[in-house]
Amino acid sequence: MGGAKAWMFSVVSVNLNGSVLSNKHVCWRWRSSAAQQSKPISWSLVFGLMLFSLGIVSLFTGHVVSDLDWYSRRLVKQKLYFKLDGSNKGPIDIWKSENGKSFYGCSKRSRKFPHAVREQSSNGYLLIAASGGLNQQRTGISDAVVVARVLNATLVVPELDHNSYWKDNSDFVNIFDVNWFISYLVKDVTIVKKVPDKFMRSMEKNPYSMRVPRKSPPEYYLDQVLPILKRRRVLQLTKFDYRLANNIDEELQKLRCRANFHALRFTKPIQELGQKLVLRMREMAIRFIAVHLRFEPDMLAFSGCYFGGGDKERYELAEIRKRWETLPDLDADGERSRGKCPLTPHEVGLMLRALGFANDTYIYVASGEIYGGEETLRPLRDLFPNFYTKEKLANEELKPFLPFSSRLAAIDYIVCDESDVFVTNNNGNMARILAGRRRYMGHKRTIRPNTKRLSSLFMERDKMDWDTFARKVKAVQRGYMGEPDEMRPGRGEFHEYPYSCICKKNGDPESEQERGNQGLKNRSKEEEPVLGAKGDEQVFLI
């Protein structure tokens, strides 16, 4: 048996050092000690040799069949991995994912998933204090729904953060349609707007507050939180963001998706203005790009990066950075080489032009206050003169929302969600949430800059001609374009990669149509995309 395992390890080593000759057949190269020449051997021959050899050995050992089964599964998984690899694919449409047609969002509850417990029969009332800005709060709210389900608790409509950097005093009811939220999830979780007054008056103590560790599994809530909830009957969980583990039971993951992609619907005033901006973009262009620049002073300061503004920039960002007492000192050049720095607006424009977007492309820029103002934005405007923001598209209509950063962010969210192409500039909360939603809604084109590889290209761009630069940009962006094969279980945050909630159509036209209709039924009317005419397709070769 020891000899068999040693042989098995040597074959794996050859596999790892071999080369993939095509996306259909994977061959190994064996090196002759005499001629030092390579000879390809097909998978079928390798399997045949393995079966024959292990069959002979099994006559003597009688117990290596399990190893063969284990190794066969390993080989099959590796072969599937190579089939998913995008290195041998052909042209990519920069406006949409052709492969996305084969996938659809599937978060419908299973018939085996029990209905929610009623308020009177629950283990108590769960108060949630979400933290951060709009999209950070959105992750907390979605996870709170799952935690309430795990605890068999009655969820009280979550409280939003009023004291964060954004200083927005908006409540849940000002941003989200609270009645829709409660009714959509009625079969999953019992949700109330507040703890009944008579219950609060009968309590001897104020509600108990606690903070759970980040990414806690359901078992933690059952072991550490449930006993307190049962004893106190009202429990508040504070700073509730990313407090639930990524990998949980599939039915709970689907509940997460129902809460995030369906139950959290914006209020009518926010939804109406957001859709107006989308229609105005569509009236000017058949298709448009939405770019989330995320180039605000707080973001740049937090990143610890340097963007070429000299001593003035270093001083200003260092002063902002003092707001976070626990931030370590960072090496700006090191952070950039590791891909931790957002691209400048100019670099975003160069990347998009290199990918193949022409200068007459219409772009919508979602952002707050840009560091450096118009001077920073000018290079991007020069590359894309058809440059629009919510302020430019809706002047007077925007005034009621101006004092509320979360409501402004919600308007940007709607336009970015409905855009043909969404471009992120950092892996922040809005980028992750929208990337996940766009995958769920059919893998709408979502471009995430490969900042680690792009940083070196931008530093060397003056040393190469444009065609060479563009070819290299296209090459490094392969795998960062929002294609379905980027979705792998366990990769990144679940909110960005909601793999449990995305299904593949089985190839049967009738079944595909039926499932597609079901997906549409699951979406609220306000969540329907604004459809525009289709123009000529643009593709690039990598």
- Residue in the structure block whose two tokens are 């084969």: 102
The β-bridge partners of 423 are: 291, 447
The reported pTM is 0.77
pLDDT bracket for residue 42 (50, 70, 90): low
DSSP per-residue codes, 90-154: --EESS--SGGGGEEE--PPPTTSPPPPPGGGSS-EEEEEE-SSHHHHHHHHHHHHHHHHHHT-E
- Model confidence over 161-199: pLDDT tens digits? 988 766 789 999 999 999 999 999 999 999 999 999 888
Task: List, in sequence order, every residue forming a beta bridge with 92; answer none if it has no partner.
Answer: 540
Token pair 């549409």 is at which residue? 520
Structure tokens at 30: 């064996």
How high does pLDDT run on average in the chain?
A: 81
* pLDDT above 80 for 43: no
Q: Which residues contact residue 23 at a Cβ distance below 8 angstroms, ignoring those fewer than 6 apart?
A: 82, 83, 85, 88, 89
80-136 pLDDT, tens digit each: 322 334 444 567 899 999 899 999 999 999 999 999 999 999 999 999 999 999 999
How far apart, in whole angstroms, are the C-alpha atoms of residue 131 and residue 329? 25
Q: Are 394 and 277 in contact (CB under 8 A)?
A: yes
Inter-residue contact 133 to 298 (CB < 8 Å) = no
In the numeric block, the tokens 């290209």 are attached to: 457
- Burial classification of residue 23, based on how many CB atoms lie within 10 Å of its CB (0-12 exposed, 13-18 middle, 19 or more buried): middle
Portion of the chain with pLDDT greater than 70, in percent: 76
Query: Taking each helix axis from N to C terminus, what angle separates 43-61 and 65-84, rounded to the nearest 10 degrees?
Result: 160
Q: Which of 230, 286, 290, 306 is nearest to 430 (CA)?
A: 290
pLDDT digits 0-9 by tens, 492-512: 899 999 999 999 988 644 333
Question: In what order do the strands lie in the sheet containing 387-388?
Answer: 387-388, 362-366, 288-292, 421-424, 446-447
State phi, psi for 358 to the nearest 5 degrees. Answer: -75, 165
Q: With a cut of 50, say whether residue 28 has pLDDT above it.
A: no
Radius of gyration of the chain (CA): 27
Beta-bridge mates of residue 216 = 244
HSE-up (13 A, CA, CB side) for residue 465: 2
pLDDT at 73 over 70: no
Main-chain dihedrals φ then ψ at residue 35, nearest 5 degrees: -90, -15
Considering the domain delimited by 119-262, tell me its CATH architecture.
3-Layer(aba) Sandwich (3.40)
DSSP 419: S
Confidence of residue 202 (pLDDT cuts 50, 70, 90): confident
350 DSSP assignment: H
Alpha-carbon distance 442 to 502, whole Å? 9
Beta bridge partners of 27: 19
Does the pLDDT value for residue 20 go beyond 60?
no
Are the beta carbons of 214 and 242 closer than 8 angstroms? Answer: yes
Helix (H, G, I), strand (E, B) or coil at 232: helix
pLDDT digits (tens, 9 = 90+) for 340-398: 899 999 999 999 999 999 999 999 999 888 898 899 999 999 999 999 999 999 989 99
Confidence of residue 205 (pLDDT cuts 50, 70, 90): confident
Query: How far from each other are the two terminal CA atoms of the chain, in whole angstroms?
Result: 47
SS3 content of the chain, % helix, strand, coil (to 5): 50, 10, 35
Domain layout of the chain by residue ranges: 119-262, 268-502
Q: Is 45 a residue whose pLDDT tops 60?
A: no
Q: Alpha carbon of 427 to those of 58, 256, 307, 487, 493: distances in Å?
A: 52, 20, 18, 16, 10
pLDDT of 26: 31
pLDDT band of residue 489 (cuts 50, 70, 90) is confident
pLDDT by residue (tens digit) across 241-279? 999 999 999 999 999 999 999 999 999 999 999 999 999
Tokens of 75: 């080989």
Q: 514 in helix, strand or coil?
A: helix
CB-side exposure of 219: number of CA atoms within 13 Å? 2
Between CA 343 and CA 352 the distance in angstroms is 12
Contact 92, 539 (CB under 8 A): yes
Question: CA-to-CA distance for 129 and 228, rounded, in angstroms?
Answer: 17
Cα 225 to Cα 124, 228, 258, 333, 542, distances in angstroms: 11, 5, 24, 44, 51
